[in-house]
Each structure stands twice: as C-alpha cells, then as structure tokens.
Structure 1
C-alpha cells in the first residue's frame, strides 16, 4: 500500500509558497503522492500545475474535480496540459460533487447522476488516452480530438460510493478515490464491486485511494471532538451520510483515524487488508507526532 498526503487550499498571503512547501516536504519525507481537493478556493489543477512543476518526483492528484461545471473535453484538455507540465505525474480524480452544490449553487441539473458520469467518461477517457471522442448521449455530445503534447497514460479515478458508480470506476476508469470511507465499507462494499467490475471488463486491477483524517495522540477524546467539529458537514451530505451508515458510524469522527501509534497503525493495517492501494492521510493535528509516525510506516 502506498502512502500519500491530503492538502487543501490556503488563506495564507503566500498561498503558493505555503502549498509548495507542503508538497516539497511530503516528497522529501518519502510519501508517494499528494492530493488536493477542489472546493471554493484555488482551482486544484491550476494550482498543481504551478506548484508541482517546481517539486519533482511525487505523484499529484485531484480529489476531486466536479464534473458538471466543465465539459469533459475541456477538462481533458486542461488535465493533459497539467500532466505535461508535471512530466506525467498527474492522477485525475473526478466526481459528481453534491446536489446541493450542482443545483443549489451552479443551477445545473443533477438528475440521474450515474448516467451523467457514464456519458462524461465516454468523452473524457478517450481524449486523455490520446484518442478521438465521437459520442452523442442524452446529456453530452463530443466530436473532436486533442493535440496536447506529453504522456497519455494519466490515471483517471472516479469518486464512487454507490454500486453503479463503483462499477463504472472499475469497468472503464482506473479505480476510485474515497473520502470518509472506513475499512468495513471498503472490505464489504467498495473493493469487491470495483475489483469485480475491472476483472469482468478485462482491465488491470483498480486503484483504491482512501483518504481519511488522521491524528496520532494520547488525548483521543479531544481529537475526536475536534474531528467532529471540523468535518461535521460530511455527516450531513447524503452521499457521505450513506457511506457512514454502511460503516455503522454516527459521524465523521468515528471513521477518522485517531489514537496512539499502536491504534493508528492497526486502523491503517485494516485498510491495507481491505484492499486499499493508496492510503492518503489528512493530518488535522498540530505538532509533528502524526507526521513522524506516518513516515515510520513508509
């Protein structure tokens, strides 16, 4: 199992310098990858192109770029350009986002999201693989090719929790990227579905990238309270609420990996046994104890 780090945008004055320092430190510490979220601050792909071109030798991923606001051909062109700037080190994670965002904020139709993702990937995947797109669906049309220089083997991962989405992630994409998903759900729900879909389609074994909050501490109660506060929104969004229910978790603090070194190690080992190929740590504690422990596992 590979180990990565999860980062968000920053409100610091020198935001790019701050993020560049975090990515460079992750590379120096020996982590395999750094993943950046796409919310309402920095555009993740643009930021990774700017920062990552200055930090060699580490995979950089998006977790995840919402599909609805960007035509798949536009996203393919942008992602290929970023991948060229990074010398082939981009992992493109895409996802639906949430109805409250897509309809409530963007004013776009969130109807039949699984259909949307299948049609989206029918355009995106050929283009990022150097092929022409010739597709006319119910919601998307594309008849074009792209001529972006650089590698054409960029992995595309789909944020997937529901059965139809997991099937897509294994059947046509390169795997899935998860957030707030515990070991029980990966074992019983995610890994079997995405792996079987890839096998049935004759595709390579999929990547299962699992990102979770991590805090190594002797004061687990205080850390869980902090996690409950900081990640509260994920217990309210329907897709994450569903996956927390599968895990038997009351809220995000219950899937956050919290405890001393032995407890955190055991929880991470559960994920490896569940089939996770890439564990991505979202460090939410102050101090160096969590990072030093994670480095010891590399």
Structure 2
C-alpha cells in the first residue's frame, strides 16, 4: 500500500520553523516528514530539535549531499536521529552536482557511481555490523560504531537516471526520486531498480517519489508556482538530462520556458483535489511505495499558512 508523506516546503533558518509541519505529520495521516539538503541548518539536527520539542515522527532526508560529511559522520547522525525520535529514519544521500563536488573537494568524484557505492558500503557496515573496515578510492574507514537499540535506519539514494537506479537496486534500501514524471518512474527508474536488485540477489528497494504540486485557485498560475519551486533544479545538468529522457526539454537560458515544460510534461502537477488524487495514483501505479507531497511553490508564493492548508487538503484528498 502506498503511503503519503510531506516535504518541509522551505529551507529553515531556525529549526523551530519545522514544528508546524512536524505537528501536521503527527496529527494527520501523513506517514513521514522529509527535508531536503539545507546549507544553513543541518537537516539531522533540525529533526532532532523537532523530536526534542515533542513531535516524534518518522523522518527522511531527501537527499543530503555526500561531500558535506564523511560516511562515518553520516551513520552517527542517522543513528542519533533514530534514537532521538524513536521512529524510523530514511537517511537519503546523493553526490550532488559535479560543480558542487568541485567547490567542496577541489575536484568532482572520478566516478559518481563508485563514490556512492563506497559511501553506502561504509554506512551499512557501521549501522548493521557495528564496524567498518574499508579502504577505497574515495573513502576510508576503520572504526567501530557501538551497537545500541534504535528504530530502523534505511539508507536511501537520490535516483534520477538509469545507472544510478540500477546501483540503488544493488545496494540501497530506498530509491528517492525528485521531479520525475510518473511514466518515467514506471518505464525507466523502476525497471532499472529491479534489474540491479536481481543482479545482486536481493529485494528491490522501496521507491519514494517527491512530487511538486499545487491545487488550483483563482489567483494562481501553475507556471509561476513551478518556477518558484524548481527553477534551480532545471538549471543543473543531471536534472536537465533526466527531464530530457522523460520528454521534457529545458534550457539554462529560459527559466520560464522550463517551468512551462514541467507543467506540460507532468513533472509539476496542478489541479483540483480529485484531479491531483488521480495524478498521484499514477505514481503509485508506476511503483512508488511512498509519495511525498511537495508544495514548495505555494509556500514561496503565499507563505506558511497557505502551504499548511494546502498539505491538509491534499492529505484529505488522497485519503478518500
């Protein structure tokens, strides 16, 4: 059965800004609260603050960027959050854009897939075996992580394209997609996940689809909302390539045209409650085990009250 979760629709400057969304998660049928990478507050620390404030709910990071933390530190943070919250954690990671890797490390990873594989190997050894003994091209870790009772920690990978999807099928617990239309999820991502899992002789990972969307309203323009939500993503080469593969053409020279293409191509959903419930069911039918409602465009255009009301209405629609 597909579950529905919510994304914090902004980058918090202070962790208490997340509390209304954590409260919504705790008091509604939302399964989990997610936060993307933040370069001001760390998402693991933000969620620990949320738990200390009394809102103990399942959490997910989708996705945090590998160059910012060694996999040993990543394992400690994920473990600590699970202990603090008392609920399962999805620790989602990705290598980020090559330009970001260069800015953090002086050069991008020689092999994106090779670096991701090593990162997951170290994290899994620490979280499942209590010790890592790894000397690789990208990461070295010869250290224990003392076992301690805690809720499950699932290791997630950000997945956009077939090769990363196949790798996620081999090594990840969760595959996390962002801005991927439902047909692309069905025809490209899920088959690659299954192929990787079959090659590794293991079950396929759960699929989490982060879906940007908004409800229709008289004063709203879906293109403006899509632009507010995802213009930055359409400017990154790996997102542009994924969108091209899904039939959506973007350009670094035409942000508004990119937003129009996202709406027309089904990467950004816009409609009334019934229409969006039907569109989200397409993601479930395509293989999504968890669908994350992302109303960032609404939040950026209309503010916190509007985004909370939007999420309530969407959760009510999918519960019918």
Question: What's 2:215 paired with?
Answer: 216
Unaligned 5+ residue runs, structure 2?
A: 250-257
TM-score by length of 1: 0.91
User: Superposition pairs for residues 12-51 of structure 1, below 5 Å?
Assistant: 15-51=14-50
Measure the CA separation in 2 of the matches of 1:206 and 1:48. Answer: 24
Question: What's 1:296 paired with?
Answer: 317
User: 1:175, 1:194 within 8 Å by CA — same for their partners in 2?
Assistant: no
Which segment is superposed worse, 180-189 or 142-151? 142-151
CA offsets per residue over residues 108-165 of structure 1, 9 Å max, x none? 4332111111111121111111332111212222212111523273111100223332
User: 1:20, 1:52 within 8 Å by CA — same for their partners in 2?
Assistant: no
CA shift in 2, pair 1:289/1:122, >3 Å:
closer
Measure the CA separation in 1 of the matches of 2:149 and 2:170. Answer: 25
Deviation, structure 1 residue 180: 0.9
CA shift in 2, pair 1:233/1:268, >3 Å:
same
Measure the CA separation in 1 of the matches of 2:51 and 2:147. Answer: 19
Question: What's 2:6 paired with?
Answer: 5
Measure the CA separation in 2 of the matches of 1:180 and 1:228. Answer: 13
Question: What's 2:254 paired with?
Answer: none
Measure the CA separation in 2 of the matches of 1:271 and 1:128. Answer: 31
Which segment is superposed worse, 159-168 or 236-245? 159-168
Question: What's 1:149 paired with?
Answer: 148
CA shift in 2, pair 1:37/1:138, >3 Å:
same
CA shift in 2, pair 1:183/1:226, >3 Å:
same
Matched, 1:268 2:280: yes
CA shift in 2, pair 1:294/1:220, >3 Å:
farther
CA shift in 2, pair 1:289/1:152, >3 Å:
closer
Which segment is superposed worse, 246-255 or 167-176? 246-255
User: Superposition pairs for residues 100-115 of structure 1, below 5 Å?
Assistant: 100-104=99-103, 107-115=106-114
Candidates 249, 270, 295, aligned match of 1:258:
270
Measure the CA separation in 2 of the matches of 1:56 and 1:149. Answer: 22
Which segment is superposed worse, 190-199 or 266-275? 190-199
Aligned length: 295
User: Superposition pairs for residues 52-201 of structure 1, below 5 Å?
Assistant: 52-56=51-55, 58-104=57-103, 107-147=106-146, 149-151=148-150, 153-201=152-200
Measure the CA separation in 1 of the matches of 2:35 and 2:221. Answer: 26
**DSSP-derived class of the 1:63 partner:** strand
Aligned-pair RMSD on alpha carbons?
2.1
User: 2:269, 2:279 within 8 Å by CA — same for their partners in 1?
Assistant: yes
TM-score by length of 2: 0.85
Measure the CA separation in 1 of the matches of 2:15 and 2:135. Answer: 40
Which segment is superposed worse, 254-263 or 27-36? 254-263
Which has more helix, going by share of residues?
2
